[in-house]
Structure 1
């Protein structure tokens, strides 16, 4: 088997070619991400595959796995190295080729294969790579599994086993699209922008949406792993502004934007207004709770406070639980609570039966949004937006903070904010520390600080149900607290 990995090796050396390089911080809370070559080499990826295969055996799972890859210039080589490691550990690999993350999750059900490893850096910039993993569909790894995988890999505890194999799977793209569009026929005439950011979704979204009966205007749907215009990330204001311009140019009813691996969906309405995904979640929760009595929903701590105060959700008897941010956390909590759906502000939507299988899928979210419009033929997307109580939100804002420092920094910020009895001239009403710290004052204005699970960053979100002034005041109060920590760098975007 491979040698035990080391954390740092210089490129273009003999050692780099014969020793696995794996930076420990790449093992995150619920998936793995590294800057390729700088933080991990191909032998390191092979060691990761060997470690995952060893863990699959340790957990007593059937030794078969679905493997796919996103559209990056280096993702095929990453997947091949991962596959070699898995096979060496006695795992049969079902290779579905170029795919969205939800296609890999779908393949677990379609092929009756228990495990999954999707090679993707999601919306991270080029240079990043990673793997989303699971052994119990529709769930993906959480901290316990990731912690054990980290121990196996970094300590070279992977074991060689006989019985590994390789199977190429034909036609998974068509099987997935057929499953998405089955029984979906939008009767209302709709013109839809399909914004793909030159990522993998370009090979799926325009065709799937067209087969639902809507007029589709593809936007940056040509696959180009240099991402020439913007990073495919429906939380990024540059992508949202491009979607806004396309809506106005084409007179579209809605723009739907998909991230690099297709498990998220962003929305711009017919007036060119970007609607953050948590507000879309409130709209969908209204729509679904009108059809299901006592519906339960799960949302992440970055999401709007409307889930607790919206009069329509209250009248419909809906219950909402706030939980940790992260696709694995929301997926698992939604399943544990037998919730109808889960929503994240980042654009991950988790629909369970009868609408989905419990995993996050941008196209399943698109179906739900289009069906909601179809059920409201006299209302535009902007009408549905205006029907919500007004709140003043920020985008997700992320200042740099090194991976080996960010959790310690957040722990200190949590303690500092936990001790606050007053903020922005108001009494503190609530402090939620389930995931970082979300502090709320009397009028419902709140601010959140947490560590990013994906990148060397912190995450800051603020919202006020009262005014932009109070929203901005909350941001400036949090920014003032963060200014006391030299480990925190520049923001990627601000109010």
Structure 2
């Protein structure tokens, strides 16, 4: 049985072994191999994270791809960005990273790329039918083979050849026992840093805290360590190291939209008028600061695959999401890589005597984290459609409907959008001060009371 629920908007994700298992991985390998072959690919890159189920899933995925006659390049247990790196650097175009990312230990999944682009939307959901069809098709027993490579030294060498720190820095790294711990300490030491490590031993049970830097609770140990030692700042990575969290000496969390301002200002010094793409959840200050630095800001839909696609379309130099995915095209390959993002951050901050002061000086309003309202399957998208057609927000100066409904105000913004991965309404608010924030939240609360009176709003 193949469960429809595992085919998400941007990847495949589910519970092991009831939803994701060896048989699933083998059929997925056959389906992806079939697609890759039809596109003219002859090679397929795979890598996997540190979860208990990952090596076996990788073995079966590889066998399925080989059955279609392709050569599999297995780069072993590595962070997701290294799978993308090897694929882009060698112009291969097809890859799969087997990872449960920041999900609980009993989950696993597949992040996929074909023809040089992330697979998302219908291209993910159609895989179910292709897998079912192949389950009744005899094995081709084609002449595919597998090559096993260790690419970690090449990855570190590529970054250290490009990213140069102006001075050595003392930093702390928290990998949350995710796969980032296999590479992050070696990378940052190679860049010239003194590195204090927290939870960098890969442990699929995540015994210390969940590997998700988007949750402030998961940053508490890192904050405490940075405050109590000589470390200048702290870096945290999610379970597969494609997202970055940052904390300062005083314990302030620098959320990814504020980080994006710093990266934008740096890139625009070298690439004047560059286009920079960011998602609808980001602060209003992102667009303002990009414009002020001479760049062209483009707000787009949330979703790492969607941001990558928009960047390619616009030839953007940089992209970023509030979730922590950052995409450097300038000097890099345009995919989300928390490790490389951390290196670029230190390159900028190593020019400063007080890096934390620079980070904390980045503009920030009063804001809320993501507020998630659980609904029934299908309800969030139906509600958003109604709001896009009928919403009236008295003091808003503009309504943006590229992804949900984002109301722009002179002194802040409000956002309501439907999650693409779970039946949840996602809300986020920002205001110049507490009064602005309260007013904007009140307008959205009234809007939801009018069009969705049955849901419980928790803001």
Q: How is 1:65-214 mapped onto 2 (pairs within 5 angstroms)? A: 65-137=44-116, 139-156=117-134, 160-214=139-193
- In 1, the alpha carbon distance for the partners of 2:228 and 2:90 equals 42
Q: Is the contact between residue 22 and residue 41 of structure 1 (CA under 8 Å) also seen in structure 2?
A: no
Shift in alpha-carbon separation, 1:331–1:418, aligned structure 2, 3 A: same
RMSD over aligned CA atoms reads: 2.5
Report the alpha carbon displacement of residue 136 of structure 1 after superposing the two structures with TM: 2.6
Q: How many residues align?
A: 457
1:338 to 312, 315, 320: 315
Q: Is the contact between residue 194 and residue 219 of structure 1 (CA under 8 Å) also seen in structure 2?
A: yes
Report the alpha carbon displacement of residue 379 of structure 1 after superposing the two structures with TM: 4.1
- In 2, the alpha carbon distance for the partners of 1:437 and 1:261 equals 31
Gap regions ≥5 residues in structure 1: 1-20
- In 2, the alpha carbon distance for the partners of 1:487 and 1:106 equals 47
Q: Could you list the per-position Cα deviations for residues 273-313 of structure 1 after superposition, in whole angstroms to 9, with x for gaps in the alignment? A: 00110110011111221232112100011111112223xx3
Report the alpha carbon displacement of residue 94 of structure 1 after superposing the two structures with TM: 1.2
Residue in 2 that maps onto 1:348? 325
Q: Could you list the per-position Cα deviations for residues 20-67 of structure 1 after superposition, in whole angstroms to 9, with x for gaps in the alignment? A: x22112112221111222333332222222221222223x23132111
Q: How is 1:438-477 mapped onto 2 (pairs within 5 angstroms)? A: 438-453=406-421, 455=422, 457-464=424-431, 466-475=432-441
Q: How is 1:39-50 mapped onto 2 (pairs within 5 angstroms)? A: 39-50=19-30
Q: Is the contact between residue 258 and residue 363 of structure 2 (CA under 8 Å) also seen in structure 1?
A: no
Q: How is 1:370-449 mapped onto 2 (pairs within 5 angstroms)? A: 370-375=346-351, 377-386=352-361, 388-401=362-375, 405=377, 407-416=378-387, 418-422=389-393, 426-449=394-417
Gap regions ≥5 residues in structure 2: none
Residue in 1 that maps onto 2:6? 26
Shift in alpha-carbon separation, 1:480–1:177, aligned structure 2, 3 A: farther
Shift in alpha-carbon separation, 1:487–1:56, aligned structure 2, 3 A: farther
Residue in 1 that maps onto 2:342? 366
Report the alpha carbon displacement of residue 473 of structure 1 after superposing the two structures with TM: 4.9
**Structure 1 SS opposite 2:372:** coil
Residue in 2 that maps onto 1:8? none
- What TM-score, normalized to structure 1? 0.85
1:303 to 282, 294, 312: 282
Structure 1 residue 326 corresponds to structure 2 residue 300: no
Q: Is the contact between residue 20 and residue 109 of structure 2 (CA under 8 Å) also seen in structure 1?
A: no
- What TM-score, normalized to structure 2? 0.92
**Structure 1 SS opposite 2:302:** coil
Q: Could you list the per-position Cα deviations for residues 169-208 of structure 1 after superposition, in whole angstroms to 9, with x for gaps in the alignment? A: 2321222122222243323242111110010000110110
Residue in 1 that maps onto 2:225? 246
Q: Is the contact between residue 380 and residue 425 of structure 2 (CA under 8 Å) also seen in structure 1?
A: no
- In 2, the alpha carbon distance for the partners of 1:297 and 1:129 equals 32
Q: Is the contact between residue 180 and residue 363 of structure 1 (CA under 8 Å) also seen in structure 2?
A: no
Shift in alpha-carbon separation, 1:487–1:261, aligned structure 2, 3 A: farther
Q: Is the contact between residue 42 and residue 78 of structure 1 (CA under 8 Å) also seen in structure 2?
A: yes
- In 1, the alpha carbon distance for the partners of 2:95 and 2:380 equals 33
Report the alpha carbon displacement of residue 442 of structure 1 after superposing the two structures with TM: 4.4
Shift in alpha-carbon separation, 1:401–1:252, aligned structure 2, 3 A: farther
- In 1, the alpha carbon distance for the partners of 2:381 and 2:103 equals 22
- In 2, the alpha carbon distance for the partners of 1:418 and 1:272 equals 43
Q: Is the contact between residue 388 and residue 404 of structure 2 (CA under 8 Å) also seen in structure 1?
A: no
Shift in alpha-carbon separation, 1:457–1:79, aligned structure 2, 3 A: farther
Shift in alpha-carbon separation, 1:254–1:131, aligned structure 2, 3 A: same
Report the alpha carbon displacement of residue 124 of structure 1 after superposing the two structures with TM: 1.3
Residue in 2 that maps onto 1:13? none
**Structure 2 SS opposite 1:131:** strand
Shift in alpha-carbon separation, 1:268–1:418, aligned structure 2, 3 A: farther
Report the alpha carbon displacement of residue 480 of structure 1 after superposing the two structures with TM: 6.6
- In 1, the alpha carbon distance for the partners of 2:319 and 2:348 equals 16
- In 2, the alpha carbon distance for the partners of 1:486 and 1:51 equals 44
Q: Is the contact between residue 2 and residue 128 of structure 2 (CA under 8 Å) also seen in structure 1?
A: no
Shift in alpha-carbon separation, 1:458–1:38, aligned structure 2, 3 A: farther
Q: Could you list the per-position Cα deviations for residues 328-377 of structure 1 after superposition, in whole angstroms to 9, with x for gaps in the alignment? A: 11112112111111011111111113x211111111111111111123x2
**Structure 2 SS opposite 1:462:** strand
